[in-house]
Amino acid sequence: MNLVLDLAELAPDTATSVGGAKIGRLVEMGAAGTVVPGGFVLGVEAYRAHFRASGLDERIGGIVGPLSGRSSDDELTAASEEIVAAIRQVALTAELCDAIAERYAALCERGRDVALPVAVRSSATGEDGAQSSFAGIFETYLGISGAAEVIDAVRDCWASLFGPRALCYRLERGISHHDMPMAVGVLELVPAKASGVAFSVHPVSGKGDRIVVEGSWGWGEAVVQGLVTPDRAEVGKSDLRPLRYTVATKKVISDYDPSRRRVAEREMPAELQDARVLDDEELRAIADTVRRIEQHYGHAVDVEWVLSSDRTPGGPVHVVQSRPVTVGGTAAAPSSWDPASFALRYAFQGSR
């Protein structure tokens, strides 16, 4: 069985079962015409084979077994530390390492860079579900370069399946880690001028007539992790007309750090802090991309997008992640003017 596959080899209808939720959706979106980064994936079978053959499964079973939803934070943290240490002690098989190195070398060749920076992304089975999103629990490493570092990052992604928050989240919901084997994607790192997230409905009010875009300079980690207050915009869904734009003071940037050979957070350069991130063309392009993805899936989505630093107007928007959106409200936008129903709602309630 081939444990490491190029994304191009995956078929959209089976990509999720092979490559986990995130990679699966990237493949689906790519097949539907969205521009997504290329790369390869250590499929869920690679994870299963590694954990079974190394005896990690048994050891983890022994540590997780006594835990329950009532376990204390200290107990969860201790269990997590023990599991993560165990995972780090076990080397990948030579066969798997070779396969990763080979695929990585091919990516380098395609990118014409001997140490091509890549994104190493967790892609667990069943994450991003409608009921349990596991949002932000599993790791992503941006800017990794060199085969050895990629292999380390893969193991760190696997380990994040057993972080204290992941353990807790599963215990609360009665989910077994056996039900969510983790694939890991190794993807070209899109050189990011700006990145962010976008929602195909208003995530708070639930209004479906608009796309909400949040973005900042550089890569999206600072936005995704909530380390920076991003610029925020709303775009009309039917006509892709920018409706509102709020420029935020952005204090943190996720930027490529050549010394650490990583994308890492640092203070935003002063001249960029209050600069507007997205112009109207870019907003429209992002909104158009999000709208297509929503249409493809037939349900509301949130999307992590990247504007490549070499993008020119009219160029594509890269999508590095998407998932079904978890919406707070379900308020529909008012659909027509009906004086009596608005009067009923507002004129006789004393709510002002």
Partner 1 sequence: MATVVPVDEFVTEEWYPGFRPALDHAGWAVEPFRTFDKADEERFWFLDFHWPRGLTPMGLIWNEDGYSWGTQLAAEALPLPPGRGITQRIAGTHTYAAAIDVTDEWEIGERARRMMQNLPRFLESFEGIWAERRHEVESWWTHLRSVDLRSLELAELGGYLRKARQFHKRAFEIHFEVMYPLLANYVGFYGACTEMGIDPGEIAKFLQGYDTKIMETDRALWGLTRKARNAGLGEVFAAHDATGMRAALSARGGAAAGWLTEFDDFLQVYGYRTEGSCDIALPSWIEDPTPALGMVKTFLLKESDHDFEAARANAVEERETAIDAARSSLSREEQEVFDAGLASCQAANFPWWQDDHNYYIDLRVSLPMRWATQQIADVVGADASDDTIFLFWPELLQVVDGERNFAEFKGIINDRKQYFDHWYERRANMPKVLGTIPEAVTDPILIEIFGLNSHFLKAVQAAGNDGDVKTLSGVAAARGSARGIARVLTNADELHRVQPGEILVCESTSPNWTPAFAKIAACVCDGGGTLSHAAIVGREYGVPTVTAVGLATVVISDGDEVEVDGTNGTVTVFKHAGHPDEVVPA
Which residues bind to partner 1, rule: CB under 8 A?
207, 209-210, 234, 236-239, 241, 243-244, 333-352
Half-sphere exposure of 146 (CA within 13 A, CB side): 6
Distance CA 285, CA 302 (A): 15
Q: How far is the CB of 342 from partner 1 (least distance, A)?
A: 3
236 versus 316: smaller Cβ distance to partner 1:
236
Q: Which is nearer to partner 1, 33 or 334 (CB)?
A: 334
Query: How far apart are CB 286 and partner 1 at their closest, in Å?
Result: 16
Q: Whole-number minimum distance, CB 239 to partner 1, in Å? A: 5
Q: What is the DSSP letter of 328?
A: S
Cβ 291 to partner 1 shortest distance, Å: 13
User: Which parts of 138-267 are beta strand (E)?
Assistant: 140-144, 182-188, 192-199, 210-217, 231-236, 242-246, 252-257, 262-267
Residue 210 or 318 having the CB closest to partner 1:
210
Which of 327, 288, 320 has its CA nearest to residue 220? 320
Residue 36 or residue 283: which is nearer to partner 1 going by CB? 283
CB of 294 to partner 1, least distance (A): 15
Select 97 or 243, whichever has its Cβ closest to partner 1. 243
Q: Where are the alpha helices (DSSP H) in 162-316?
A: 164-173, 221-224, 270-273, 280-297
Q: Given the structure tokens 């080899």, which residue do they identify? A: 9
* Beta carbon nearer to partner 1, 105 or 343: 343
CA proximity to 50, closest of 129, 120, 151: 151
CB of 236 to partner 1, least distance (A): 4
CB 119 within 8 A of CB 189: yes
Q: How far is the CB of 241 from partner 1 (least distance, A)?
A: 8
- Looking at the Cβ atoms of 215 and 242, the one nearer to partner 1 is 242
Return d(Cα 352, Cα 36) in angstroms, integer: 48
Q: In whole angstroms, how close is the CB of 336 to partner 1 at the nearest point?
A: 6
Give Cα 309 to chain centroid, integer Å: 20
Which residue, 130 or 347, has its beta carbon nearer to partner 1?
Answer: 347
Nearer to partner 1, 74 or 239 (CB): 239
Residues 37, 80: contact at Cβ < 8 Å?
Answer: no
Q: How would you write 37-56 as a 3-class SS string? A: CCEEEECHHHHHHHHHHCCH
Distances (CA, A) of 9 to 4, 42, 116, 123: 10, 13, 21, 17
Min dist. Cβ of residue 331 to partner 1 (A): 8
- For 99, other C-beta atoms within 10 Å of its C-beta total 19
Closer residue to partner 1 (CB): 127 or 231: 231
Residue 108 buriedness (CB in 10 A; 0-12 / 13-18 / 19+): middle
C-beta of 349: minimal distance to partner 1 in Å?
A: 7
Q: Cβ distance 228 to 194 under 8 Å?
A: no
Q: Which residue intervals of the chain are DSSP H helices?
A: 15-31, 44-53, 56-64, 73-89, 94-111, 147-160, 164-173, 221-224, 270-273, 280-297, 339-346
